[in-house]
Amino acid sequence: MSEPQAIYLSDYQPPAYQVTRTELTFELDPHATRVRARLHLERHEDQGQGEALVLNGEHLTTLELAIDGQTLKDDEYRIENERLTIFRVPERFVLDTEVEIDPAANTALEGLYVSGSMFCTQCEPEGFRRITWYPDRPDVMATFETTIIGDREQLPVMLSNGNPVEWGELPDGRHFVTWQDPHPKPSYLFALVAGELEKLEDRFTTMSGREVTLQLWVEARNTDKTEWAMESLKRAMRWDEQAYGREYDLDRFMIVAVDDFNMGAMENKGLNIFNSAAVLANPATTTDAAFQRIDTIVAHEYFHNWSGNRVTCRDWFQLALKEGFTVFRDQSYTEDTQSAAVARIQNVAMLRTAQFAEDAGPTAHPVRPDHFIEISNFYTLTIYEKGAEVVRMLRNLVGPETFRRGSDRYFERFDGQAVRVEDFVATMAEVSGLDLDQFMRWYSQAGTPQLSVQGEYDATARQYHLTIAQHTPATPGQPDKQPLHIPVRMGLLGPDGASLELVVNGESHGTDTVLALQQERQSWTFEQLDVAPVPSLLRGFSAPVQLDYNWSRDDLALLMRFDEDGFNRWDGGQRLALAALEDMMVAWRANESMKLDGRLIEAWRGLLNSPTDDRAVLAEMLRLPTEAWIAEQQSVVDVDAIHAAREAAISQLADNLYVDFERTYHANQLDAPYAPTPEQIAARSLKNVALGYMVATGEREPLMLAQAQFEADHNMTDVRAALTLLAHSDASELGDPAIRAFGERWAHDPLVMDQWFATQVTRPQQDVMERLKFLMEHQAFSLKNPNRVRALIGTFVNSNRVNFHRIDGEGYRLLADVVIELNQLNPEIAARMVTPLTRFRRFDEQRQRLMRAELERIRQEPLSRNLYEVVAKALAD
Ligand code: B3K
Ligand code: ZN
């Protein structure tokens, strides 16, 4: 295999030919599907004559090539390196091709493949070229007409984008249906599904009074899991009309659930295809967290109809243009329909553990990368989550009304076009009159900026001086960084916790303001202050940065209690806990007993005893920083110390606050039938957090409560919480039977078995490794299914840090073995799964050696482009 080559943004060339219309005919057969394509092509105005036509194609057996009805002779074209070059073509012509493909052998799950008894597609980013010869790039947009031919018995339902216009019977027990999609689209939005499917149908009347048919297609065994996604879809459609003025544009909108799927879902025009884990739900099988995730993903894919489909990306370097914006849109939807503070807390917690780690590792890249080897490797937290933060900063800089005028203008002006990040930002600059040139660096500079803040109170002048310095650490290929335009939302608190008025140059800014940090170092002076204030910084997490300020623990307790910003109350608590955990890690390393700072215990006692109107936030505040977030604070990650300190802190909180947790547990029991409403979710979350602490005392009684909750079987949220406590306890006489009963009861439901896998492999005890190996042989497990791999292997390596990083290297070896197998089956998943090994530089020498050795072992294999790119970056000096 030759070394894969990188592609550069700076090499972008517009396509020489446009496809105006694409007509496809599929004759479906698991191992020998025929695809006939008729492409209507036109030379691009700017291109001269004699420009050859170059099309993409992979794993295609070519049967026919003809231009304007004339079959091509051997010397008129060449097929080489996954490209078809036709040397001479007219200005305007029709290209007919016929190929054969093997969907049943397609384990990469890109292009057309078989999942169970269904046919389905995944074309983004470059899967369409596995279906037929095509200029498979997003700036080629055509109308599509798709005819599907298949066995009437086995494939009674055959779907594609748009509207069905013709259907009928064919000889040999086959039938056909023809679909037309009037909206020009890039090939990555093409979709086809065929199988034995049933539907839930509903209607939606758009704001202008158009009737839309909504259909959710699933296999018969899943018809009891469709209602929630349908509710979410309607909620999202209404929200997009209200928040962005965006209306749906076809007569029907379809969602299909598929069991084998690499990502969460895909926004194909009019025919979204979903990983069944991201759409199917009912109270008996699905936790609150999964209900919420489904709501978000349904909304996300629907929102893409405008941010992605109507206005799409010119090239894949612009991926964040649609993904960052659409994640921002789905986050805003969640903030508007659930607890806004909790939504923000959860998104930020994820961003600053996982995305910050990515930004600090060997695969760090800007929100708009400037080169890649395999674009599938760039569906990352940086593109999605940091991309969303950049859009959020824009909205905060220009203000919500101006942002809305900007988005209206963006959608109107670029409708039907394939555009760049510049087009979006320039529209926002235009409507706001702001200069966003420096802001554009957020798209080109990788790495998490670090802000160091200093505050100084001058009692005589009654002034407080705040100085903020910014620094972005070097990332691979970007040694020198320039200052960014960073909005820092802040306020000041008095010693009693009251919000202080912010007076700058004699002018009042209320109690909350945004500082625009643009230089490497900048100062602000706040006037008329009679006491030294406590600063509340980066409220609402106003920028994706790492912020350092030397708060005392009393200051943090004050912020946690009184800050008017809900996010910073939570963050104050997290920072106080981090400080307390730091003491305990020091003690652990010195072999001394670990004692939890009494201030944290008292602060939590205060929380548990003060009336709250937001139980969801309270539940979040009662969670200690995760092991991953603690690790982010350390220069050399000490997995064992982190785990030991955190466990000790949990048990001391539990011992000291037992009665408070017990009261909270009982006070949050619900009588009402299950509903995934924010109120009920908050109560369950608080109740189960409390039960967790009660169990952490090691007493028998709370374990019996957990067992009773498990057996009461009210809903999966409560069952799973109880099962986890039982399975992770040392009381195997309770844990083992519960695991067995759950496994037997749900053996028929793969999505529940995924939860069963995940629960077992997060067990903190050492014996988990044997359990994991045993479960890899379980009949419900398969390396070919991405959900199974994520549930069993992914959960272990990412959520059981202390065992994955075992000093004997067993965890690393196991992951490398899995990655080597996945490299053959599904390169996209292989390249994702290898991530924890690529972060070896963060660990001690011995672990570094072990992890690096596994990466070297992987490198010896004949690697897919995906895995090659990631492993090469990790091992580069
Ligand atoms: N746009 C899809 C991404 C699928 C790419 C898979 N290689 C999912 C989403 O962001 O909505
Ligand atoms: Zn998306």
**Three-state secondary structure of 345-407:** HHHHHHHHHHHHHHHCCCCCCCCCCCEECCHHHHCCHHHHHHHHHHHHHHHHHHCHHHHHHHH
Q: What is the pLDDT of residue 613?
A: 74
Element (H, E) at 244: helix 227-244
Q: What is the pLDDT of residue 877?
A: 80
* CATH code at position 495: 2.60.40.1840
Classify residue 791 by its DSSP letter: I
Q: How far is the CA of 392 from the centre of ligand 1 (A)?
A: 21
413, 62, 35, 368: which is closest to 190 by C-alpha?
A: 35
> Average pLDDT, whole number, for the chain?
97
Q: What is the pLDDT of residue 1?
A: 52
For residue 304, give the ligand 1 atom closest to its CA. Answer: 11
147: how many CB neighbours lie within 10 A of its CB?
Answer: 19
Identify whether residues 476 and 543 lie together within a single domain.
Answer: yes
| Secondary element (H or E) of residue 653 | helix 639-656
DSSP string, 258-275: ESS-SSSEE--TTEEEEE
Domain for residue 465, yes or no? yes
Q: For ligand 1, atom 9, which residue shows the shortest CA distance?
A: 266
Main-chain phi, psi angles of 589, to 5 degrees: -65, -30
Closest ligand by atom to 110 CA: 1
Distance 299 CA to ligand 2 centre (A): 10
pLDDT digits (tens, 9 = 90+) for 696-719: 999 999 999 999 999 999 999 999
Q: Which residues of the chain have pLDDT under 50?
A: none
pTM above 0.85, yes or no: yes
- Using the 3D structure, point to which of 548, 579, 613 is the last residue of a domain: 548
Told to judge if 301 belongs to the known catalytic residues of this protein, a careful annotator would answer yes
Q: Which of 23, 27, 124, 301 is catalytic?
A: 301
Distance 467 CA to ligand 1 centre (A): 41
Same domain, 338 and 262: no
CA of 432 from ligand 1 middle (Å) equals 31
- pLDDT tens by residue, 865-874: 999 999 999 9
Q: How far apart are CA 543 and CA 390, in angstroms?
A: 8
H or E element: which one contains 663?
helix 658-667
> How many domains does one find in the chain?
3
Residue 297 domain flag? yes
Q: Which atom of ligand 1 is nearest to the CA of 127?
A: 7
Report yes or no on 338 lying in a domain. yes
Residues 411 and 324 in one domain: yes
Q: Are residues 221 and 345 in the same domain?
A: no
CA distance 512 to 109: 49
CA distance readout (Å), 82 to 46, 59, 85, 135? 26, 8, 10, 12
**Is the domain of 409 the same as that of 517?**
no
Instruction: Clarify whether residues 438 and 466 are in a common domain.
Output: no
How far out from the chain centre does Cα 432 lie? 30
Does residue 355 lie in a domain region? yes
Given the CA of residue 297, which atom of ligand 1 is nearest to it? 11
Cα 633 to chain center, whole Å? 23
Q: How far is the CA of 300 from the centre of ligand 2 (A)?
A: 6
Indicate whether 241 belongs to any domain. Answer: yes
Ligand 1, atom 10: closest residue by C-alpha = 323
Is 118 domain-assigned? no
Helices 387-398, 319-337: inter-axial angle, 10-degree rounding: 70
CB atoms within 10 A of CB 480: 7
Looking up residue 286, the CATH number of its domain turns out to be: 3.30.2010.30
Alpha carbons 557 and 541: distance in angstroms, whole number: 19
Radius of gyration of the chain (CA): 28
**Residue 553 and residue 432: Cα distance in Å, rounded?**
41
Domain check: are 233 and 286 in the same one? yes
Residue 156's nearest CA partner among 197, 124, 116 is: 197
* CA 120/CA 217 separation, integer angstroms: 12
Same domain, 227 and 294: yes
Q: Report the pLDDT value the prediction gives residue 612, as an integer from 0 to 100.
A: 78
Task: Give the up-direction half-sphere exposure of residue 768: CA atoms within 13 A in the CB hemisphere.
Answer: 30
**Position 277 in a domain:** yes
Nearest 5°: the CA angle 83, 89, 91 is 125
* Phi and psi, residue 34, nearest 5°: -95, 135
Q: Which of 444, 472, 489 is the last residue in one of the domains?
A: 444
Three-state SS letters, 738-765: HHHHHHHHCCCCHHHHHHHHHHHHCCCC
Q: 């036109």: which residue's tokens?
A: 42
Instruction: Give the ligand 1 atom nearest the CA of 264.
Output: 8
- What is the rounded (10 degree) CA torsion for 650, 651, 652, 658? 100
Distance 330 CA to ligand 2 centre (A): 10
Say if residue 384 is in the same domain as residue 464. Answer: no
Q: How many Å apart are CA 595 and CA 602, to the nearest integer?
A: 14
Look up the CATH number of the domain holding residue 434. 1.10.390.10
pLDDT tens per residue across span 453-510 = 999 999 999 999 999 999 999 999 999 999 999 999 999 999 999 999 999 999 999 9
Sign for the CA dihedral angle at 644, 649, 654, 655 comes to positive
Which residues constitute the domain of residue 285? 197-304
pLDDT score recorded for residue 47: 72
In-domain check, residue 84 = no
Ligand 1 site residues, Cβ closer than 6 angstroms: 124, 262-263, 265-267, 300-301, 304, 323, 376, 379, 828
The token duo for 735 is 């844990």
| Separation of alpha carbons 630 and 645, rounded Å | 10
Q: Which of 412, 444, 476 is the last residue of a domain?
A: 444
Q: Is the bond into 4 cis (omega within 30 degrees of 0)?
A: no
Q: Which atom of ligand 1 is nearest to the CA of 267?
A: 11
**798 to each of 181, 411, 629, 833, how far by Cα in Å?**
42, 39, 12, 10
Give the tokens for residue 450: 């670090």
Distance from the alpha carbon of residue 324 to the mean position of ligand 2, in angstroms: 8
pLDDT at 2: 66
* Beta carbons within 10 angstroms of residue 549's beta carbon: 17
| pLDDT value of residue 51 | 85
At 700 the pLDDT is 97
Among protein residues, the one with the nearest Cα to ligand 1's atom 2 is 266
Q: What angle do CA 137, 143, 148 make, to 5 degrees?
A: 100
351 shares a domain with 424:
yes
Residue minimizing CA distance to atom 1 of ligand 1: 266
CA 26 to chain centre: 33
Ligand number nearest CA of 322 is 2
DSSP state of 767: T
* Ligand 1 atom index nearest CA of 301: 11
Q: Report the nearest-CA residue for atom 8 of ligand 1.
A: 266
In angstroms, rounded to a whole number, what is the distance separating the alpha carbons of residues 141 and 19? 7
What span, in angstroms and rounded, lies between the C-alpha atoms of 235 and 229? 10
- How confident is the model at residue 3, as a pLDDT? 84
Query: One-letter amino acid identity for 250?
Result: L
Pairing between β-strand 521-526 and β-strand 463-471 as defined by DSSP bridges: antiparallel
Same-domain status, 471 and 514: yes
257 and 360 in a single domain? The answer is no
Tokens of 611: 């009336």
